[in-house]
Amino acid sequence: MAITKQHEYYEKRLEALLKDMPFFVEKYVDDKLDIRSPLTLFNYVRDYKEFFQWLMAEGIVKCESTKLFPVELLETLSLDDANNYFKYIARKKYKISKKDDETKQIDAKTVNRHKSSLRSLFKYLTVESEISEGKPYFERNVMAKIPIKKVSETFNERASKITEKIFIDDADIEFLDYIQNEYEASLSPTQMKYFKRDKERDFAILSLFLGTGIRVNELSNLRLKDIDFTSKEIRVIRKGGKKDTVSITPSSLQDLNNYLTVRNERYKASDSENEYIFVKFYKGESKHLTNRAIEDIVYKYTRSFDKRMSPHKLRHTYATNLAEQTGGDIPLIMNQLGHTQSDISLLYINTTREKQRKAAELLDQRRNRKTE
């Protein structure tokens, strides 16, 4: 299995987080590390920390720190207390933007993730572990009584949500044109300095998302050896460390090449084939551009053009356009996006229904003109 930069990054973050965790969580992670990704385990352990802190803050558990949290108290945790914790999670709100006070409530899927992570820990402690004479830490599993309410949505509803959050029609082309020709007019002299330095790099990132449909982690892990200019393809590392080959549009390949012509000089980067493609200049040397940095780049430019969008929304935009241009070729869409299930690819065909509706209205105008 290929080890990605993201894998290493979350391994380190997980290791740091575990320093504040009780011994039984450390044992859980050690036993699960070959089954679950460091990212998943990091999110799980972060949930456990919040859970322990809530129990301590509410006075349900008397303990000086999460590190000293006693495992035996989880056996006697009441169902009411467990339910109250998930009510607390469900009612939490978070700020949408740092610039204003607008907030949003945690969605049901996030609540379900908290439930799943704790159910996994409690199952481990009550069923999967052995500490003495073949017995687990304890036997009563209160989390087994906590239902996970499936978030039910129709296919059309899921597709509609995608359509509302992506570029439709030719908006993706207009977006790239805006970055090339209009964006700098809104910048201060200081902002202009950095924009001119990073313009080719940032534009290549945006163009690559819209010209390949790859994920942010797949883009950040691209190395120089992964580009094949002849076949117009790039090699990526999919989820689970699987290697794959993805087609790239000629225009996006040209945008990438434009960046590569200035990459070494502008960022003091090496042209060794194993070097990461997307880098930054930091403290006098070239550094790998992280997932977070790439996400911030996408947020910045999309917010300036229309609405704040994530790299995943650019991936959705590409997938929707691909579905339309290929007449809904499901195997092709699955291969290009790295999907393992066809129903995910079908969502992008559904997003074209808005265009179908508009087309029907245009066709009907012919009839209206005839009757006038």
Could you tell me if 326 and 239 lie in one domain? yes
- Span 50-91, pLDDT tens digits: 999 999 999 999 999 999 999 999 999 999 999 999 999 998
pLDDT level of residue 184 (50, 70, 90 thresholds): very high
| Within a domain: 329 | yes
What range defines the domain where residue 131 resides? Answer: 5-152
Give yes or no: residues 247 and 135 share one domain.
no
43 has a pLDDT exceeding 60: yes
Distance between CA atoms of residues 317 and 171, nearest Å? 10
| Mean pLDDT across 296-307 | 91
Q: How far is CA 286 from CA 204, 265, 269, 297, 321, in A?
A: 18, 10, 5, 18, 35
160-181 confidence digits (pLDDT tens)? 555 556 777 788 999 999 999 9
Residues 175 and 111 in one domain: no
Residues 217 and 128 in one domain: no
Q: 335 pLDDT band (50/70/90 cuts)?
A: confident
Asked whether residue 55 is assigned to any structural domain, the reply reads yes
Q: What's the pLDDT score for residue 132?
A: 80
Give kind and range of the element (H or E) at residue 332. helix 330-337
Which conformational region is residue 228 in: left (phi greater than 0), alpha (psi within -120 to 50 degrees), or beta?
beta
Q: Within this chain, do residues 142 and 171 fall inside the same structural domain, yes or no? A: no
Same domain, 123 and 166: no
pLDDT at 348 over 90: no
Query: Does residue 369 belong to any structural domain of this protein?
Result: no
In a domain, 238, yes or no: yes
More confident residue, 289 or 4: 289
Q: What is the DSSP letter of 84?
A: H
119, 135, 152: which is the final residue of a domain? 152
The pLDDT of residue 237: 86
CATH, residue 308: 1.10.443.10
CA distances to 29, 137, 247, 326 from 213, in Å: 33, 46, 9, 15
Higher pLDDT, 58 or 158: 58
Judgement on whether residues 204 and 77 belong to the same structural domain of the protein? no
Is the pLDDT at 3 greater than 80, yes or no? no
- How high is the pLDDT of residue 80? 96
Count of the separate structural domains present in the chain: 2
**Taking CA 348 as the corner, what is the angle to CA 90 and CA 248, rounded to the nearest 5 degrees?**
115
Q: Which residues are identified as catalytic? A: 215, 239, 312, 315, 339, 348
Q: Is the pLDDT of residue 341 over 70?
A: no
Q: Give the end of a domain, one of 130, 152, 174.
A: 152
pLDDT, residue 1, reads 45
**238 and 94 fall within a common domain:** no
Phi, psi of 3 (to 5 degrees): -95, 120
Final residue belonging to a domain, choices 118, 152, 186 = 152
User: In this structure, are 182 and 328 located in the same domain?
Assistant: yes
